[in-house]
Amino acid sequence: MVGECGSGNPVDDCWRCDPSWADNRQRLADCVVGFGRAAIGGKNGKTYVVTDPSDDADPANPAPGTLRYGVIQQEPLWITFARDMTIRPKQDLLVASYKTVDGRGAGVVVGDGGACFVLRNVSNVIIHGLTIRGCKPAPPLSPSAESEGDGITVFRATNVWVDHCTLEACADGLIDVTDGSTNVTLSNNVLRNHNKTMLLGHSDDFTDDKNMKVTVAFNRFGPGLIQRMPRCRFGLFHVINNDYINWEIYAIGGSASPTILSHGNRFLADKAKEVTKREAAPESEWSKWTWISEDDTMLNGAFFTSSGTPGPEVKAPGFAKPSSFVPAITASVGVLSCKEVSLC
């Protein structure tokens, strides 16, 4: 029966139990939760099929059939892939508004020594079901658009959802959300084998990020991560039902007075170790920041240093579960093995 898997994962239970999911791919856009819940991607647009894994040297005039050609179109598109492929972009993939990049049904790798995704000044983008790894800086497309080698850069963008991707080993961050971006959900991803994992907020001086709202839910962090799971600034961040498999320096950190709700996560440390880290502030200052841990499970000596007083915005969303649900909720994170005529 559609939508009744019973895993407790509200995204997966919305669509994965339908063996005919490939006949209505755009149903996925109805399944997002959290602050990015208004992201519709390419819903109601045409389907564009990537048939050519190559990437042209001239990013302004890409060949039809390539991923770059699809993501730069100005009309809404639901982008799928004809077969398994590895795409090594020569320049950053600049994704236009109202796009869904949907890797279900094919094994798609983006990066692998090339550049990766940039969402700059856009809205309504969904990236789902891709392996994004080995992303490198590319020659900048303009002096104001320096390439840093992130897996996914979200820059002054709104209504963004990244779901069921596997990200690892990029030159800078795996996912960076900065410069006034907001209404973002990052869910069901595997993030591994990396240093600076996830940055949410540009800098301690960029106060436009005070309106940032990001939901980080149902992800698996690790193995092989060092820090920034996530690192937050200024905004409001809900970190819900994630599975943390060790961290070298810290798991959740931040500066510039972010508000963080950590609810129903499972933190497994390799030894007695703090989950949290405040940057660039004395205790007299950070003690006023609202960082709340609710119903988190701390294993092998992990501990969370709470601070501040929760206000009305620090409230677990309705889809949040107790941490005892995390093994079931995160059992199928990352890229799914999907066949078009069977359950995904």
Instruction: Give the CA count within 13 Å in the CB-facing half-sphere of 55.
Output: 22
d(CA 280, CA 276): 14
Task: List all residues 6 or more positions away from 31 whose beta carbon is below 8 Å from its beta carbon.
Answer: 10, 11, 14, 15
Closest to 185 measured CA to CA, from 39, 67, 42: 39
> Are 253 and 273 in contact, with CB atoms under 8 Å apart?
no
Q: Which of 228, 231, 266, 278 is catalytic?
A: 228
Task: List all residues 6 or more positions away from 46 whose beta carbon is below 8 Å from its beta carbon.
Answer: 75, 76, 77, 78
d(CA 257, CA 270): 28
228 is annotated as an active-site residue = yes
d(CA 163, CA 170): 18
- Residues identified as active-site: 228
